[in-house]
A and B are shown apart, each in its own frame.
Chain A
């Protein structure tokens, strides 16, 4: 019985690990294929690149990348082919432009604002002993005397 269950698991593994492999005659082309498919987002399962995705669309896009590479197109031409059809969203690293400005600069802005706030808080706490009232100082002195 145990062996049967184990066998079943083995089948499950082979089914889920099915991503087609393309034969490249040129290892440089293969490298470019890998980096391109890692940079392109699958639009069906949006948190995966097309290199990892099993979605049918990802399969089609991989085939297209393979085709265009073999036709001798450059990386930028292939990326343009994809963004012409699917928009900047298909790129894992969207280009820096007016629309994506908040995306690229937002985190920096947040850090700067945080630093500004922090420095102000630090400044204020440093100043507080100077501004302590006479009464407060007396109360502290009393406490210290008690020790």
Chain B
């Protein structure tokens, strides 16, 4: 067969490869423009102590996880077990952003299912959520010692995601100077 006859086949195979890659992608995972940038500042009331506020600057010098959750969020329940287990390992503190929730519902939810958070802040209006580009709960940000977002996980955190992406990255970030 001459070279020319192979051209359509090559085109077809290239197309198959591209479509194959496309099938494997999750369109719900929109890459965040915030990765590599400073985490947006926030100063919000704490869920358990509403008269005290918490600001992201208080975490400077630490590698930490910022987890967006809500008691109305179904897949947060599934994620919660994983977070509870992760917290037992004492690898990195988790701060919760209680997104568009009723504080009472949120506290009851934590009482029932366990509280893996160092603390949670209330974002009833979803303002901090908007600054973090949150569009689907749960979402989790990994923030380094300088307060820069290094990784974003969209959807429930799984054991696999922890083992393969998040924990190795935490180990690496812990090596970096604060």
Contact = CB atoms under 8 A, between A and B. Distances in A.
B9 interface: no
Interface residues of A, number: 15
Interface of B: 27-28, 30-34, 100, 126, 130-133, 135-136
22 contacts: A43-B136, A44-B135, A44-B136, A46-B27, A46-B28, A56-B100, A57-B135, A60-B126, A60-B130, A61-B130, A84-B33, A85-B33, A85-B34, A85-B130, A85-B131, A85-B132, A86-B33, A86-B133, A86-B135, A87-B30, A87-B32, A87-B133
Main secondary structure of the interface of A (DSSP, over half): helix
In the A-B complex, the 3 residue pairs with the closest CB atoms: A43-B135, A85-B133, A87-B33
Contacts of A43: 30, 135-136
Main secondary structure of the interface of B (DSSP, over half): loop
A101 to B, nearest CB: 15
Interface of A: 43-44, 46, 56-57, 60-61, 64, 83-89
Given A60-B126, A60-B130, A64-B130, A86 B30 contact: yes
Q: Which of A43, A60, A61, A85 has the most CB of B within 10 A?
A: A85
A89 B30 contact: yes
